[in-house]
Amino acid sequence: MQLHLDHSATRSGNALDVPWPRRLDRPAEGALDLWLLHAPDPWLASAALDQSPLDEGERRRAASFVHAVDRAKYVAAHLMLRRLLGAYLDVPAGEVEFVREECPCCGEPHGRPALAAPGAPHFSLSHGGNLVLVGVAAAPVGVDTEQIPAAHTVGEVSTALHPAERQEITAAPAVRRAAVFTRLWVRKEAYLKGLGTGLGRSPDLDYLGNGGPGTPAWPAGWTIVDVPVGAGHAAAAVRGAIDSRYDVRRLDPRGLAA
C-alpha cells in the first residue's frame, strides 16, 4: 500500500471545539483521534497550571527551562497528554504510566514513548509555537506541529531533507517557501515518530513531498494527514490505514488551570 496523502475535507471532517473529556472510548482499528490545544504566550505567562498530575521526571524537566513561557508550554503539553490518556484508560491523569519502547535503530530502550497499561492505544505528542497536538490510535501513530520559521532557518534545515523535497521548496515562490518547507518538515517528523526512529533515521532517506511526475515513491503502508491548525503553524499526522472520518478536536487551554 502506498502512502496516501489525505487533503479531503469531507473525509477529515472539521475542527471541532469540544469540552475536556472525562472518559473516552479507545480508537478502533483504522481510526485516528487528533486533539489540538492553542495556548498563546500571554495566557501561558499568567496561567496557574495544575502540575499535580506530573511525575517527578516531568517536574524536573519543567524546572530546567530558563524562560517561564517555555516552562509553561512544556507543562501544558504534558498535562494535556496525561488528561487525554487518562480519559482513554479511565484512570486519573496522575496515574498514567509511561514506558520506552526499544529503539528500532539500535535496540536500546530509548525509543518511542508508550503506555505501560496492557492493550493501551498508541499515542504521539508534539508542541511547537503556541500549539500542542496529540494523536491517539490503535496502531503506531506520529504527529508533529511547528511554527513557520524565518527564512534563514529554512535555508539551513532544508538541506537535511530528501533531494526531491528540497527541489519543491526552492521551486516555490519566495513568499511561500517557509510555509512549503514547514509543511514538508512536519510530515517528515510525524513519519519518523510513527516509525519509532525519530531523527535517528536520516530525514533525507524518505520522500514525503507532494508527488507528481518523476517524483520518488512514497513509503509503503502509511497515511499522511495535513492537519488544519490555522495561520503561522503547520501540522501533520501519520499512521497506517485510516478507514474512518477523523476530526481535529480543539480544547480550551483554560481547562488546564489549577
Q: What pLDDT digit, counting tens, does each position of 152-211 carry?
A: 999 999 999 999 999 999 999 999 999 999 999 999 999 999 999 999 999 999 999 998
Write down the pLDDT at residue 11.
Answer: 46
Show the beta-strand stretches assigned E in the chain.
Answer: 4-6, 15-17, 33-38, 98-100, 113-115, 122-128, 131-137, 141-147, 223-226, 233-239, 248-251
Cα 49–Cα 78–Cα 80 angle in degrees, nearest 5: 75
- The one-letter code for the residue type at 180 is V
Domain count along the chain: 1
User: Does the predicted model carry a pTM greater than 0.85?
Assistant: yes
The CATH number assigned to the domain holding 67 equals: 3.90.470.20
User: Contact 79/85 with Cβ under 8 angstroms?
Assistant: no
Question: Beta partners for 125?
Answer: 134
The set of cell numbers assigned to 53 is 498530575
Q: Which residues of 43-77 are buried (b: 16+ CB within 10 A; e: fewer)?
A: bbeebebeeebbeeebeeebeeeeeebebbbbbbb
The set of cell numbers assigned to 206 is 524518505
Give the range among 5-9, 65-69, 139-143 with minimum mean pLDDT. 5-9
Structural domain span for residue 124: 4-256
DSSP-derived secondary structure letter, 121: P
User: Sheet holding 33-38: strands in order across?
Assistant: 15-17, 248-251, 33-38, 131-137, 122-128
CA distance 226 to 184: 10
CA distance 25 to 48: 30
Pairing mode, strands 131-137 and 33-38: antiparallel
Write down the pLDDT at residue 216.
Answer: 94
Q: Is the pLDDT of residue 111 over 90?
A: no
Question: Beta partners for 42?
Answer: none
CA distance 81 to 132: 9
Q: State the pLDDT confidence band at 257, using cuts at 50, 70 and 90.
A: confident
The DSSP result for 184-204, as a single string, is HHHHHHHHHHHHT-GGGS-TT
Write down the pLDDT at residue 12.
Answer: 55
Q: State the pLDDT confidence band at 38, using cuts at 50, 70 and 90.
A: very high
CA distance 222 to 238: 7
Write down the pLDDT at residue 147.
Answer: 96
Give the range among 58-67, 69-78, 172-181, 211-220 with minimum mean pLDDT. 211-220
